[in-house]
Amino acid sequence: MSWSQDQMVARAAAEIADGMYVNLGIGLPTEVANRIPPGVTVTLHSENGLLGMGPFPLDAEVDPQIINAGKQTVTILPGGSVFDSALSFAMIRGGHIDLAILGGLEVAVSGDLANWTVPGKMTTGMGGAMDLAAGARRVIVLQTHAAKNGAAKLVRTLSLPATALACTSRVITDLGVFDPAGDHFKCIERAANVTDDEITAKTGATVRFAPTVG
Amino acid sequence: MASNKVHADASAALAGLLRDGMTIMAGGFGLSGNAERCIDEIARSGVRGLHIISNNCGNQGQGLAILLKGRQVARVLCSFIGGNPDLAEQYAAGTVAVELSPQGTLAERIRAGGAGLGGFFTPTGVGTSVAEGKEVRDIDGKRYVLEKPLRADLAIVRAAVGDPDGNLRFYRTARAFNPLCATAARVTVAEVDHLCGKGELDPDDIHLPGIFVHRIFEAKDHKNPIEFRTTRPTSGTP
């Protein structure tokens, strides 16, 4: 059985250590906020200019001028702060954000990431994706292992336009956990009952299985 | 510049400033922090061929998208098009030119413009389409791309509180690009929810000093539209 989306999210949340400043990308990564392990205090950053982002507001608390980078209404936790966009991206590029968990379309063995546009489709623009991928101290990509049509999303070299080069430390998919290792992916964890053969078949690059995986 | 910065409304504050083909910076993020009355006044004026510098250039038909709907915009420099069907449509049709800039690069280009810098080297975009045609330099073993400063003829910004000297205080995430844009234009017009008296803002609480603001007016009852109203249930965990 491959991991469900919720299991993927929980596995990503396990990467967060106490005291970290973390930015969660739009989409599935946003859900990581709901699965932070007990006892772990994390400060969430939203690149539109907010540190200490809290959960969605109660209906009575909704404030149109408190939003996240996905333009959803959110709250600010005690100790939170707001600032302009230049300072917000100084936090990102300056290596002050410990971890960014981002969605992905393709990750290469080099750690190159593509997640912002698909040629031939109307682009949405990159927003803050390129800054986060290039700037955060550690980038973890949370994505399905293969596309709906079966195409591999863990690849030898990107076929899609890059978001940033050599930026990805780890990829968490529905089949397991994979670290880009230069010329191959190192599988460091497998979803229960997923075989090496299945992983190899669904990956567009060499996979080596760490001895402890099993 | 006149010593009296205070104007009655958007029409008075923008009088004599608007012309075809001009470059306008606008400080909002999505539908938050927009100078709504300034946008309405620019729409009413009918100026065309505008070059807009703004993170989103409006969304869902609102904010700066009003100017797109009126076919007043020729070029947009932004980081994100998603959620803005007017921009996507006119970009696809080739009637509006779009330059995409990574969000942090856009912010810093505006900051550089306002700070009198000739540009900066950023790691963002190295090895991507964003770096095409730009200088890439190795600095102490890491590669950076040269990004140039941005300036505008006019900046329209929105703040929560302002005073007659043009000092501004922003509110929550409506700050975003507003203070940056205010520094990088030949003329900056600030639209504030509340215009307080001289000296009422504590010097320590001023987010943007009035030196950057040339004209200011109070506008009450902003629409402050919400793009995605997300809430959690009253009981239970978020």
Q: A34 — phi, psi (to 5°)?
A: -85, -5
Chain B residues close to A125, C-beta within 8 Å: 78-82, 100
Give the residue from B144, B73, B149, B143 showing the smallest Cα distance to B107.
B149
Position A214 scores a pLDDT of 54
A23 touches B: beta carbon within 8 Å: no
Chain A residues close to B105, C-beta within 8 Å: 130-131
* Count of CA atoms in the C-beta half-sphere (13 A) of B212: 24
Asked if residue B1 has pLDDT above 60, the reply is no
ipTM of predicted assembly, 2 dp? 0.96
Q: A189 — phi, psi (to 5°)?
A: -160, 145
Q: Which are the contacts of B210, defined by CB distance < 8 A and separation ≥ 6?
A: B5, B163, B165, B166, B167, B168
Contact between A65 and B100 using a beta-carbon 8 Å cutoff: no
CA-nearest residue to B225 within chain A is A64
Find the mean pLDDT for residues B61-85.
96
Please report, as a single letter, which amino acid is at residue A53.
M
Q: Rounded to two decimals, what is the model's pTM?
A: 0.96
Position B235 scores a pLDDT of 67
Residue with tokens 């980081």: B79
Distance between CA atoms of residues B162 and B46, nearest Å: 28
Asked if residue A210 has pLDDT above 90, the reply is no
Q: Measured between alpha carbons, how far is residue A167 from residues A182, A196, A206, B78 in Å? A: 12, 26, 19, 24
Contact between B124 and A131 using a beta-carbon 8 Å cutoff: yes
pLDDT digits (tens, 9 = 90+) for B92-110: 999 999 999 999 999 999 9
Contact between B104 and A34 using a beta-carbon 8 Å cutoff: no
Q: Is the dihedral of CA B195, B197, B198, B201 positive or negative?
A: negative
Find the mean pLDDT for residues A31-50.
96
